Structure 1
Amino acid sequence: MGLAVATGLAVAASLTWGSADLGPGRVWSALLGGGPEVDRLIVWQLRVPRVVLALAVGGGLAVVGVAMQALVRNPLAEPYILGASSGASAGAALFYLGFLPAIVSRTVSMPVAATAGAWLAVATVFAAARRGPTLSTTRLLLAGVAMSALLGSVTAFVTYASPEPDKLRAVLFWLLGSLSRARWETVLAPLVVSLLSLGGLWALARPLDLLTTGEEPAAGLGVPVEALKRTLIAIAAVATGVLVASAGVIGFVGLIVPHAVRLVAGATHGRLVPFAFAGGALFLLLADLAARTVLPGQEVPVGVLTAICGVPFFLAILRRFGSGLA
C-alpha cells in the first residue's frame, strides 16, 4: 500500500512539474480532455508517455536485477552483467554516427540497432560460457566483463572517430540514459516486455528460491537447473535489450531496488519479484522527475542521477558482504 500511494503521488508530480509547471487543476482538466490545447498536448503527448516509460523501464530493470542476482548468487549482480548495455550502446553509436553499411542504415532504426547489439552481445557471452550441456556462472561473469570492455571500446572509438561532431552530444545523452524520447509509439514495446518479464519471473519464484541455495541442492530438489539458467538469460537478454534501446543505459536500478525491497518483503521471490517491479518503477519515476527539475531550463541525463544514488549503495553492499562476494 505504501508503494502504491508513493507511486500515485510520484505520477501526479511528474505530470504537474517540468519545464512548464501546469498545476494540479490544469493537469486534471487536460487529462479529462478540457482546458487549453497546449495543456492537453503537454500532458497526453509528452508527460503521460514519459511516465509510462519510466514505470516500464524501472520495473523491468529491477526484476531483471532480481533474476541475475539469483542466477549468479551474488548480491552485486545487475541487469548489465551479460554485456547487454555495452552491446546496445555500440549498436546505437554505430547506427547514429553513420558507421553501419548504408543498406543496413536504411532498413533499421536506432532502437532496432541497439536491441540487435544487446542480443548479439548476450549471445556471444552465452556461447563463451557454455561447455557442453552445462553453463558455468563463473565463465558467464568473466565473459560478460570481457564483452563489456570490448564493446565499450568500440563505442568510444566510433564516438571519437565520428565525422559528424554535432551528433556526439545526442549520442552521449542517450548513453547516459534519458526518457526524453518517450512517445506513444515507443513505449508499447518496453511496457509489454517489462510486464512479460514480471509475469515470467513471478511464475519461476519457487525455482528461483531453490536456486539461491546452490545448483546442486536445487537439482536435488527437482529443479532443472540448466534449463532455468537458460530461461533467465533469455529473459534478461530480451528485456535488457529492449529497455536499453528505449531509454539508454540507466545503471544501478537493478542493483539498488532488489536490496531495498528485500529489507521489507524478505528474500522469497514470490514477494520479491512484484515488490521489486513496483519499487523500480517508483525509483526511476522519481529520478526522472529530479532530472527534469534539478536544473532550471535543462534536463540532466537520468542515468547520472541513478549513478549518484547507486554508487554509495554499491560501496555499502561491498563493505557489508566483504569477502563473501568472492
Structure 2
Amino acid sequence: MTSRLSPRLLFILLGLALLLALWLSLAAGPVSLPAAEIIAALWTNNESNQASLIVHQIRLPRALLGLGVGAVLALCGVAMQGLFRNPLADPGLIGVSSGAALGAAFAIVGSALLGGVADALAPYFLSLCAFAGGLLVTALVYRLGRRGGQTQVATMLLAGIALSALAGALIGLLTYLADDATLRRLTFWNLGSLNGASYARLWPLLLVTVLILLWLPARAKALNALLLGESEARHLGFAVERLKRELVLCTALGVGAAVAAAGLIGFIGLVVPHLVRLLAGPEHRVLLPASALAGASLLLFADCFARLALAPAELPIGIVTALIGAPFFIGLLLRGGRF
C-alpha cells in the first residue's frame, strides 16, 4: 500500500509549490528579476519602470494564463475520470479537444484564405472558433450517447473516438490546403503555448475556471457515489443523469476555454489526477481542489522549462507536458499498473 499524505499536509505542500511556480514565472526569463523588484512592480505598476513593464505586460498575464489552464484541465480530468469510473480517462475522450482543434484550424486556414479578413473582423476570432468547435463536437457526442432517455457512457466514449477521428481527418484536409506560413502557425498552435498571453485572452478563461472551481467541489459527494456504480449512486439519492449532463457540460466549457486560450496542451488532465490520487486517495472533496493546485503548479513549472531550456528560443509547452506525462505512464507500467 502506498502511504498517503494527510489533506492538511498535502494542501500545504501544494500551496508552497504553487507559490514557488508563480515566483519562478515572474522572475525567470531573458531579464532575471529579484524578488524585491517583483514585489515593488506588483505594488506600484509604474509604466516607466522596466521591471514593472516586464511583470505587468508579459510575465503576470502569462503566469495567470498558465495557472488558469493548468487548474481547469486538471479539474476536467477529475470530472471525466469520475464520469467514466476509469483512472485512464482524459478530457479529450468526449471530443472537446479535437473539436476545439478543428475550430482553430478552420479559423487559421480560413483567415489565410480570406487574406486576413477574419482576423480583422474580430480579435477573438480564433478563440471563438476553437471554443465553438469544442462545444459542438461535445454536444454531438452527448446526443449520440443518449439511449432511451439515459446517457450510455460506453456509447458516448465510442462516439467521442469516432468524432475525434473525423475531426482529425478534417484538420488534415485543412492542413493540406494551408500555405507554408499558415501551416507553421497551425502546427505551433496544435503544440500549445502560453506565449503572447494578454489580459484580453485571460479573462474569459479565468471566468470559466472560477465557475468550475465553485461548481465541481459541490458535487464531490455525488462523484464519490458514482465511483460505486450508477445504480448504487441512484439508490443513495443522487440524480445520476443530471450529474452526467453537468459533468459533460463542465468539461466542454473548461477544456474549450483552455484550448481556445493556449492551444492543445496534453497530459495535464490525465497525469495530475493520478498524482494526487497516489498522494491522497480518491476522496473527491480532497482530490478536486488538490488537483487544481497541482495542475496549475505543474503547468507553470513546465512553462518555465519551455522558456529557459533553449533560450532565447522557446519550446512549445505541449512538448514539455508530453515529456513529463509519457515517463509517468511508463513508470506505472513498470509498477504493474497499480495506482
TM range (shorter): over 0.9
| Aligned residues: CA RMSD | 2.2
Question: TM-score, structure 1 length as denominator?
Answer: 0.93
Q: Indicate the residue corresponding to 2:305 in structure 1.
A: 290
Say if 2:319 is the partner of 1:308: no
Deviation string, structure 1 residues 117-155 (Cα, Å, up to 9, x no partner): 000110111111111211111111111111111111211
Residue 186 of structure 1 is aligned with which of 201, 204, 220?
201
Q: Indicate the residue corresponding to 2:182 in structure 1.
A: 167
Give the letter for the 2:36 counterpart. Answer: G
SS at match of 1:192: helix
Residue 143 of structure 1 is aligned with which of 159, 162, 166?
159
Q: Indicate the residue corresponding to 2:13 in structure 1.
A: 2
Residues 100, 69 of structure 1: alpha-carbon distance in 2 compared, 3 angstrom cutoff: farther
Say if 2:21 is the partner of 1:15: no
Return the alpha-carbon distance in structure 2 between the equivalents of residues 253 and 47 of structure 1. 21
Following TM superposition, where does structure 1 have runs of at least 4 consecutive aligned residues deviating by more than 6 angstroms? 99-102
SS at match of 1:19: coil
Q: Is the 8 A contact 2:103 2:132 kept in 1?
A: yes
Q: Indicate the residue corresponding to 2:37 in structure 1.
A: 26
Give the letter for the 2:198 counterpart. Answer: R
Q: Indicate the residue corresponding to 1:207 in structure 2.
A: 222
Residues 126, 177 of structure 1: alpha-carbon distance in 2 compared, 3 angstrom cutoff: same
Say if 2:243 is the partner of 1:232: no
Q: Is the 8 A contact 1:83 1:118 kept in 2?
A: yes
Return the alpha-carbon distance in structure 2 between the equivalents of residues 139 and 302 of structure 1. 33
Q: Indicate the residue corresponding to 1:124 in structure 2.
A: 140
Q: Indicate the residue corresponding to 2:174 in structure 1.
A: 158
Return the alpha-carbon distance in structure 2 between the equivalents of residues 74 and 192 of structure 1. 29
Greater CA drift, 272-281 or 19-28: 19-28
Question: 1:13 offset after TM fit, Å?
Answer: 1.1
Question: 1:206 offset after TM fit, Å?
Answer: 0.3
Return the alpha-carbon distance in structure 2 between the equivalents of residues 73 and 247 of structure 1. 28
Deviation string, structure 1 residues 24-56 (Cα, Å, up to 9, x no partner): 333233223359533221110110011111111
Give the letter for the 1:7 counterpart. Answer: L
Residues 86, 12 of structure 1: alpha-carbon distance in 2 compared, 3 angstrom cutoff: same
Residues 199, 147 of structure 1: alpha-carbon distance in 2 compared, 3 angstrom cutoff: same
Deviation string, structure 1 residues 225-245 (Cα, Å, up to 9, x no partner): 111111100101111111110
Deviation string, structure 1 residues 173-232 (Cα, Å, up to 9, x no partner): 111111113101111111111121121110000000000111111111111111111110
Residue 274 of structure 2 is aligned with which of 259, 275, 295?
259
Deviation string, structure 1 residues 62-87 (Cα, Å, up to 9, x no partner): 01100100100111111111111111
Question: 1:99 offset after TM fit, Å?
Answer: 6.7
Greater CA drift, 118-127 or 263-272: 263-272
SS at match of 2:94: coil
Give the letter for the 1:16 counterpart. Answer: A
Unaligned 5+ segments in structure 2 are 1-11
Unaligned 5+ segments in structure 1 are none
Give the letter for the 1:86 counterpart. Answer: S
Q: Indicate the residue corresponding to 2:289 in structure 1.
A: 274
Residues 319, 207 of structure 1: alpha-carbon distance in 2 compared, 3 angstrom cutoff: farther
Q: Indicate the residue corresponding to 1:248 in structure 2.
A: 263
Q: Is the 8 A contact 1:99 1:158 kept in 2?
A: no
